[in-house]
């Protein structure tokens, strides 16, 4: 059985139940390490836009409360909302530029309206993700994941200098070094329980050293109330739909889609590190993650705060600790909800000095970069995808560092392309769309999905092989692959038909690099992923499974790759078949 590198260290998989103290301990760890970002993002936006403390107080409260509710939804998966994995939700840095412009142009009410309307596009994407499956690929998602590190790292490095001017010059470097050294040493040299608590131990050690130097803001904690509501009130919605709304809406929609790509990448990556053995990506979980992200944006707009998105921190912490149980996600959400009403808790977290937080985040982002890189490689990195990844990545780096025509892009669309993730993500989408459009034209056939489909599919594939000038051996190979995929998909069709749910099948085929690509699209049905079934050959080889396993073994032998994407409404099996070598 194939085992991923990450999966070898999983202590509690996503569907397992760790002890409650451990679940809440890790939940508290994740909450402590992300709450500052959730609160600081609206602080940056609101202060830059010239708004006062009353609205900032409300926006911070609303951001934490919405993040808590949607984090729980992501973990428990309510209907079609939620991924069913640990995916933390929090305020989105990608919206900083456009949000500042919105508040400056029309106040908090205009921002709220723009966030609500743009969230509707995310619901549409979640419902029809299968339509854009060739664009929102693991290659694009992995590129965006890598660019998250590029985008956030400059902010993290700036935090190293966030100390009072009159403190000892060694306060910052010693606090940061101690935090990083403890985490890295524990992670590299230990296993079991010690590795689970490495981040918390590192942050505590760093905070103690910073307290000794006098840079931990204890006075802020002492002055904060234990329980309280925000100083400000709900800003309302601007339903006038004036010129400012229509001018800013395209920018909000674009950033919403780029944020959705981040969510796609995060939801793929968390699946990659949440199981002991490698599994095919469950695109129903990806759709659920996007829908929950849209719900978070909708609630953010209705509550009048900054839009949110999935936080990649949960991926890095899952990789680091080996605990992927969704109980941890529920714990984080509950802790967020409690923190929203406890100003003293927020103050205690926000009092952790910047150098300590920066040291820990550097480790998380470094691991996250590798997760994104691994996603790109596992998707199959040919020279075309290499161009997409390389060009998009460096465009993102260039925009993030203000090196690409800053005099023009600083003002274009509210300055949203100054964000490396936005610019690089948009580039990856565009280049992938161009790559898809440049592929050879596909031939298609649509028929009823039942046993009678075998004959028409065989004739269709034979006609394609003849018209494309393929060799007889290649034609036979394509015919055999088509038959085995169809038989595998038809496994439980009789039960679906008897329930009055007949399905349609669309088969397409095209040339690719001397070989061919077959794609089977059919209405979705709950059953095990074909890609996973092929990867687990040999685990169960007795009884009635022998005949079907022989079919899967033949398919694995004939095809160079098999990918089975399962959505809520559609199943897509893509099979690549290389031409046989000439003897």
Residue-wise pLDDT for 329-348, tens only, equals 898 899 999 888 877 776 66
Q: How many CB atoms lie within 10 A of CB 181?
A: 14
- Does residue 411 have a pLDDT over 70? no
- Using left for φ > 0, alpha for ψ between -120 and 50, and beta otherwise, residue 404 falls in beta
| Domain ranges for the chain | 7-394, 439-577
Supply the CATH classification number for the domain 439-577: 3.30.565.10
Q: Is the dihedral of CA 68, 70, 72, 74 positive or negative?
A: negative
The predicted pLDDT at position 315 comes to 81
Flag the least confident range among 76-85, 266-275, 493-502, 540-549.
Answer: 540-549
Give residue 496's pLDDT band: very low, low, confident or very high (50, 70, 90): very low
The predicted pLDDT at position 4 comes to 43
Can you tell me the distance from the alpha carbon of 404 to that of 418, in angstroms, rounded to the nearest whole number?
Answer: 9
96-107: average pLDDT: 79
The predicted pLDDT at position 192 comes to 59
Is pTM beyond 0.75? Reply is no
pLDDT > 90 fraction of the chain, expressed in percent and rounded: 6
For residues 442, 448, 454, 455, the Cα torsion angle rounded to the nearest 10 degrees is: -80
236's enclosing H/E stretch is none
């Amino acid at each position: 059985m194939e085992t991923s590198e990450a999966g070898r260290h999983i202590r509690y998989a996503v569907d397992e139940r760790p002890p409650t103290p451990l679940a809440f301990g890790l939940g508290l760890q994740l909450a402590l390490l992300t709450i500052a970002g959730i609160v600081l993002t609206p602080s940056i936006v609101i202060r830059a836009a010239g708004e006062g403390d009353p609205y900032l107080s409300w926006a911070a409260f609303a951001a934490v409360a919405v993040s808590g509710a949607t984090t729980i939804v992501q973990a428990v998966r309510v209907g079609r909302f939620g991924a069913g994995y640990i995916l933390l939700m929090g305020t989105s840095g990608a919206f900083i530029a456009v949000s500042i412009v919105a508040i400056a142009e029309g106040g908090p009410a205009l921002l709220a309206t723009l966030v609500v309307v743009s969230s509707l596009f995310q619901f549409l994407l979640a419902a029809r993700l299968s339509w854009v499956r060739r664009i929102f690929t693991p290659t694009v998602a992995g590129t965006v994941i890598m660019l998250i590190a590029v985008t956030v790292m400059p902010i993290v490095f700036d935090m190293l200098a966030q100390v009072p001017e009159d403190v000892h010059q060694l306060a910052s470097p010693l606090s940061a070094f101690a935090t990083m050294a403890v985490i890295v040493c524990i992670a590299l040299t230990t296993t079991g329980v010690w590795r689970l608590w490495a981040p918390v131990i590192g942050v505590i050690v760093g905070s103690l050293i910073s307290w000794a130097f006098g840079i931990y803001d204890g006075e802020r904690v002492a002055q904060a109330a234990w329980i309280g509501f925000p100083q400000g009130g709900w800003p309302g919605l601007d339903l006038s739909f004036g010129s400012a709304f229509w001018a800013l809406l395209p920018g909000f929609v674009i950033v919403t889609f780029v944020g959705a790509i981040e969510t796609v990448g995060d939801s793929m990556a968390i699946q990659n590190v949440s199981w002991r053995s490698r599994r095919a990506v469950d695109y129903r979980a990806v759709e659920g993650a996007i829908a929950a992200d849209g719900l978070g944006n909708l609630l953010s707009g209705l509550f009048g705060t900054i839009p949110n998105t999935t936080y990649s921190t949960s991926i890095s912490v899952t990789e680091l600790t080996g605990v992927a149980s969704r109980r941890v996600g529920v714990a984080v959400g509950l802790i967020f909800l409690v923190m929203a009403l406890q100003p003293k808790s927020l103050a205690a977290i926000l009092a952790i000095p910047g150098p300590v937080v920066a040291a820990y985040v550097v480790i998380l982002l470094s691991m996250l970069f590798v997760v994104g890189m691994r996603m790109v490689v596992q998707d199959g990195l040919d020279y075309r995808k290499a161009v997409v990844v390389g060009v998009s990545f460096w465009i993102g780096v260039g925009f993030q560092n203000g090196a690409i025509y800053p005099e023009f892009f600083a003002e274009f669309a509210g300055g949203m392309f100054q964000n490396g993730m936005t610019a690089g993500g948009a580039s990856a989408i565009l280049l992938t769309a161009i790559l898809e459009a440049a592929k050879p034209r596909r031939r298609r056939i649509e028929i009823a999905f039942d046993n009678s489909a075998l004959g028409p599919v065989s004739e269709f594939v034979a006609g394609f092989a003849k018209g494309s000038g393929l060799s007889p051996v290649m034609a036979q190979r394509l015919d055999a692959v088509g038959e085995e995929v169809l038989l595998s998909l038809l496994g439980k069709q009789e039960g679906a038909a008897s329930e009055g749910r007949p399905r349609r099948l669309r088969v397409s085929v095209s040339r690719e690099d001397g070989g061919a690509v077959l794609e089977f699209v059919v209405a979705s049905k709950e059953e095990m992923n074909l890609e996973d079934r092929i990867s687990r050959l040999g685990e169960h080889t007795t009884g009635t499974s022998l005949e079907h396993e022989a079919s899967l073994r033949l398919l694995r032998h004939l095809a160079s790759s098999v990918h089975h994407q399962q959505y809520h409404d559609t199943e897509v099996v893509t099979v690549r078949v290389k031409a046989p070598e000439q003897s």
